[in-house]
Amino acid sequence: MPILIVVDDPEQWPLAVGGAEVVPARSYLVEARYADLPATKVFNCCRSYRYQSEGYYVSLLAGARGHKPIPSISTIQDMKSPSITRLMSDDLEELIQKSLEGVRARKFTLSIYFGENLEEKYERLSSQLFKLFQAPFLRAQFLRTDQWDLQSISPIPANDIPDEHHDFVMQVASEYFAARRFSVERQAIHRYDLAILYDPKSKEWASDEPAIKRFVKAATALDMDTEIIDREDLGRIAEFDALFIRETTAVNHHTYRFSRRAVAEGLVVVDSPESILRCCNKVYLAELLDHHEIPTPKTLIVHRDNVDDIVPQLGLPCILKQPDSSFSQGVVKVDCQADVGPQAAALLEKSDLVVAQEFLATPFDWRIGVFDRKPLYACRYYMARQHWQIIHRDDNNQESYGRVKTLPVELAPVAVVRTALKAANLIGDGLYGVDLKQVGRKCYVIEVNDNPTIQAGFEDAVLKDELYRRIMEVFLQRLERRRLGIPS
């Protein structure tokens, strides 16, 4: 994979880096030999990324050519927005305070060269900011009021680098390119690069480690190189062709930021920001399913003025749901009328609208896995022992689970599979887990989950390795369509 360093004027470029070709911005933009280069890494070191400047067009056209620009056009736009800058730095708040606690001035400027700073005490903060805003040379401005806040982050023009920093910059640039060459040579044998967002330390992952390994194996067999990334790798998204999120998602969460950034960079993404938004709010889902006449348990959208309507409309017992609940948390079963008001009030403290549903007692819930608008697997999730949910958390927050029985999709009731597909297709063409209850001959959609659990030995019990291959095949098909310019 060729490495280009694109600059305004090579004669004024102060650094020489082995293994990389220094190219004038104008040449990169207009000469066909650069446009036709395959799989090229482009380090945009122009003086300005101002809108419609040459520096701006270098990153813009690099993306259109299938090259990997640093910074990407999304990073350039993010650096211009104070609100996005502050939002993206939220996860670094503790590190910022710790790194700058010894600074006495009210303002502080941090110069970052390929993720490094001259002073070792700022090394970790520099590295993390570089991961969020990948540009060769960065200037981060901090302001202290009650605490330190990142006010802005912007590129440093190469000719603005102080002379006394040149030796250090050459050293870290050479080390950076030397480290990247091994990675680039390793990946060059594959057609596409897939990132899997996964945190093995989290208790609420969407796949366990054996399942992740099987996803990697399936992707490799289809000529896709796979890298496991974590929440600190947001700024690296432009390096990949596709993103597969295997962490529990939420809108006010790094998973949503990853999904949005990946879509902005033109990656194939599962699941999309739209899927996360739609599935993570049960108020939206209730309205959507009702509007399209998909059968659900009797449902009431609850606000502060209609709490008294819950029991007359739904009866007892009933279920109250926090709109963004997941893994059975934020969902309560109310058995007596005296508890309805207090339980609803507690949920309404967090959201102006909550969901109330009639309680349907069944020994298990159906889970139909759907991907690319096709059924993928069918499971019965049985209720935890002596509990009304599939997960039981005791007073010590210890968890117990009901058993899981996986069936071939063709052996699941036709009405269950058909209803699940109708519900999932209202969300999109992503990877969904549709939960349903079957009462007699009728089936009811409980919810549609984006990013559903796929755990080794459970959801893959029937298809085994074939399950992972089918999912990776959809990624490959979408990548090929994107390469050919075919609309999804």
Delimit the domains of the chain by residue range: 1-80+166-174, 81-156, 190-271+476-484, 298-358, 364-450
Contacts of 18 (CB under 8 A, 6+ apart): 174, 177, 178
Mean pLDDT of 338-349: 94
| AA letter at 39 | A
Strands (E), 45-120: 68-70, 107-113
Strands (E), 175-317: 192-197, 224-229, 242-245, 268-270, 299-302
Give the per-residue pLDDT at 49.
86
Exposed e or buried b per residue across 392-414, where buried means at least 16 C-beta atoms within 10 angstroms of its C-beta: beeeeeeeebbebebeebeebee
User: 337: pLDDT confidence band, cut at 50, 70 and 90?
Assistant: very high
User: 36: pLDDT confidence band, cut at 50, 70 and 90?
Assistant: confident
Predicted model pTM: 0.75
Contact 290, 423 (CB under 8 A): no
Contact 168, 112 (CB under 8 A): no
User: Which residue in the block uniquely carries the two structure tokens 């040579």?
Assistant: 185
Q: Do domains 81-156 and 364-450 have the same CATH topology?
A: yes
Q: Between 48 and 212, where is the model more confident?
A: 212
Mean pLDDT computed over every residue of the chain: 89
Q: How many CA atoms lie within 13 A of 222 on its CB side?
A: 25
Tokens of 439: 């009462």
Domain 1-80+166-174 class in CATH? alpha beta
Give the per-residue pLDDT at 391.
83
Domain 364-450 class in CATH? alpha beta
Mean pLDDT of 367-389: 95
Interatomic CA distance for residues 198 and 209, integer angstroms: 9
CATH of domain 81-156: 3.30.470
Q: Is the pLDDT of residue 180 over 60?
A: no
The CA–CA distances, whole Å, from 423 to 275, 376, 399, 419, 430 equal: 13, 15, 29, 6, 12
Contact 322, 331 (CB under 8 A): yes
Q: Is the pLDDT of residue 453 over 80?
A: yes
The CA–CA distances, whole Å, from 193 to 189, 328, 330 equal: 10, 34, 37
The CA–CA distances, whole Å, from 414 to 184, 375, 419, 424 equal: 48, 11, 8, 15
CATH of domain 190-271+476-484: 3.40.50.20
Contacts of 189 (CB under 8 A, 6+ apart): 225
Interatomic CA distance for residues 138 and 70, integer angstroms: 12
The CATH architecture one would assign to domain 298-358 is 2-Layer Sandwich (3.30)
Interatomic CA distance for residues 70 and 133, integer angstroms: 9
Mean pLDDT of 52-65: 89
Interatomic CA distance for residues 130 and 113, integer angstroms: 9
Phi, psi angles (nearest 5°) of residue 326: -155, 160
User: 278: pLDDT confidence band, cut at 50, 70 and 90?
Assistant: very high
